[in-house]
Structure 1
Amino acid sequence: MVAFRKTLRGILIMDLKKKSILLVASSLFLCGSLSAQSDVEARTAKKTLKARISQEQLMADELVRKGKYNEAEELYRTALNKQPKDPNIRNGLAYAYAKSFKLDRADEEFDKVLKEDAHNAMAHCGKAQVLLNRLQSSNGTFRKNKDALVKQAGAECNLALATDPNLPEAHYTLGRVFKEEGRLDQAEQSFLNAIRADKNYSDAYAGLGLVQLEGGRSAEAMSSFKQATALNTGNSTAHYGLGRALLQQGMADEAIKELNTSLYQFRNSAPVHFELGKAYASQGNMVAAIKEFQETIRIKPESASAYIKIAEIRENRGDIEHAIAELRSGLDLMPSNTDLLQRIATNSLRLEKISDAIKDYEAVLQTQPGNVAAVEGLTRALYLRAQKETTGAFIADNDYEAAEASIARAIQMNPNNLQLRLADAKLRSLSGKPVDLSVIGTPKNDGERVAYAEALLAQNKFAEATEQFNMLVGNANTAKSLAALGDLTLMIKDLDNAEHAFKKLATMPGGQDSAKRGLHLVAKARETTKQDLNLANDLARRKQFNSAVDKYHTAIFNDPRNSRARLGLAETLEKFFQQDSKALRESVMQYRAYESLTPGLPPKELERLHKVTARLEMRATKLERAVAEGKKPNIIARMMQR
């Protein structure tokens, strides 16, 4: 196969008897219809062609370079009418079809070339690019068969390389295949092979830059992108990549400039619109950001990240219901997308829709049993449910048993993950089982520290949990991280630490609005707790004990650190549920929580509380033993009166 590429300098003048120029229009590089303007410089022919290159073909090559694919097609067809057996012209026509996304027609033309020459390397390479371009479609069939299409594209590349081992386009396309498969090291090597074969191959530099960017090597990526644009200013992929790299470095204005350049060269690019949305959001221009994210979805409806970004903006405004609606619109299209489902679960938890959150977290874990964030979310939801219910009711809940099984599966897959083991400890603590956190391990990073603090809260070790949260607030040095911490502590109703985080957030640039909203919600939760506590006390005085217990639980749910609610519930359960062992054990737990929340209690009061809890535990044990022996309730009552 004859391969061609040489930098265009001035007017193309060649000895048409000895040399040929073949434009190889590379396929779209990025998911979401991002069109990389192909390298259009001609490569010097490696051998003399017998066929004469027509003026139409030269003009068509130039039109493809300018992105005028429809006009190029007309000229290629004119040239093909004159030289119907010329495989180079037919390959050029096929590439023009591929660039304008007439993929079926492109495939037909490549097949015609291969029918005449089964070893035509450029045709095999072109078919590989058509296969990769099909992945950018929203067609459900192509999306479901992604792995098979990528594998087939790789096979076509290997056929091309078997014929022409030095064909740059084949190495480049194989790099795209490896990138789709997540094999970044091999993708990088393929792009480098393409560059070795043709040092002026702009698309190969752009592909290399994207791989470097994925690997967090921003400086190297920027160098590759700049080289790509130096070779071909019309390479929209390179401008896109440069915009991404600049945005990662916080240079939003410069990033927007590069992204707009890329968008000018190819309007229908979902990835460019998505990055523009991120850039505008970083500048606080949320209206423009939402517009770009919506345009991303219009072009590529299955862009889950765009739905999440819009939801994030709604969440930051405090409009959680609207955020869930945005996420569900994406989930309707992608029902198995765990990122969307997990985000919905977290937002449901923020709205206190605990059952919905538990159901969605469990659904995520059915698909991804090792998902640490989903396990933490699930145990967080169960912690909140436990505040609303008696310990016995919580343990009897089917969700508790399902959570135990889910955590066990996750730990089996990640036996050394501290966050999972802490989540397991949290769940066991909620069920009343003794847990020694010191033997589990100590947190080494902020993610583990959050899990450790939540496990401490589940054991009612409030002071120790506060120490961990204080470290987290101290470590947070951006408005975004503080807002996330504030939202988390507010979600689990740790109002003191939420207030601490939001107050620090108020001092950060750009954090005032979120801090104001967060502090308002903290104050609202405290007022609600106060009202529920007053009503619970009133109901207890009127001997409406069941209603009183419910209201005490509601008060504790809204503020687990409210010591008076803990004490009120403990006393009510002790006095009026003497024949219920589960209620008595919960009374013990609430007395101990009260003690933990009131560190300045006089020694005599502490001694009294310890005697009360010891007596209640003994009574609960006797009741449980009697039930185990099959004794009837009236007999048990007489026994307990002795």
Structure 2
Amino acid sequence: MKVMIETRKTRICRQWGLCFALLTILSLASETRPQGNARVNDFLPPPRANLLPLHWPDLTKLEPEVREQLANLQAGLAATTKNPNTKGAVLGQAYGTMGENYQAYSLNAAARECYLNATRLAPQDFRWVYLLGKLDQQEDMTEDAIRRYRSSGALQPEYLAVPVNLGNIYLQLNRLEEAKENFKRALVIDKNCAAALYGLGQVALSQKNYDEAIDDLEAALALAPGANRIHYALAMAYRNLGDVKNATVHLAQQGTVGVRVNDPLLDSLQELIKGERIHLIRGKLALESRRYTEAIDEFRRAIMANRESLPAHINLGAALLQTGDPKGAAANFEQALRIDPENTNAHYNLAILLANDNKHETAIPHLHYILSLDPKDASARSFLAGELLKAGQLDEALVEFSRIAETDPNNEEALLNQVKLLQQKHGYRQALDRLKKAHEQYPQKGQTALMLAYLLAASPQYDLRDGAIGSG
């Protein structure tokens, strides 16, 4: 089975079997601004005509230690802006430093306002232009990101992450020649840049230059052997060359760990982080690299910093499963539900544990709850249908498999389970009608064709049999 993964915006992946969460850290801070009429202290007025007001972010949901850290910095910035003798370079540094701290805690709206002011005060300072570009890239403002990366590259041509970031954006936009140009520029700066080689390999793969793609991807893998995402691209290149053996070998080794370019400016933001969040980030990296013991330690440290940390409990549970501790995993998922009874990730993961322990009737309510919140959750409905079947609740299972087959006619497994359950209820004609309709839509589906042939040849309801068709 697939397991729930926590992200900022949505649940994106589930994997049947043991639970493995490759999480993106949940945002630990709200970027909402105070509601109602604006008060004077809701924002910092611009000290100069060409600057923007800085809207203070909501710090109330942050840990006390972090709240104090940011409040002190805000007070310092406010004092700096009120001093009429403050020089532009000093003011720019103050805004930039505040922006770095906001960005470290994902308070991106406030960080952006700070960086914009910093760039107006110190337009030749690489740091603020580059970090604005990072915010643009993270928020899919691709044209703005391209413009700012180009500007920051002109200010500091040897900063390796700039051409790699540009290459990745152009690759995403399918502007392959521009992507190729930037990855090559990165290799001029550092010939052993695995991220640039991986990018060139992806460009070559997109351009169907499979031999070239293999050369670049193999070189990237040699430099970053833990980056198992490269294996998938290699498998595709070998498959397109007809090399099934090598394609199979690499496909079996594929994973989610990508290749990251060295980015000291962005990485330095982690040094600003206090409390729970730094341990969540470290735990994420360890979990992605399958260093489960280290991940467990970091998630436990996050819980020590904040016992109500929802992502820490959910992902500690995921890591504990990987080390063979389902009881510990269940305890953390249950604690996550005590913190947030509506958390569907925790419900789903608990359902997986219960199903693995053959406690199907106990798993079912968790899945019903998920579907009460999101009736369109296809994987939860599929999971529920299977659990109902295993629990012997056949009428309910038939209802769910029928819903799945109706919503997704391409789901052969749901169709076949629907047909089998209909036969058990002596609904032979209805089962045959479902199979005929499905076979007309998807004649290439082998199991559907076999089941249809069987029923036409040997249906318990004799008037439905068609021996000639069934044997043909």
Length-normalised TM-score, structure 2: 0.48
Which structure has the greater CA radius of gyration? 1
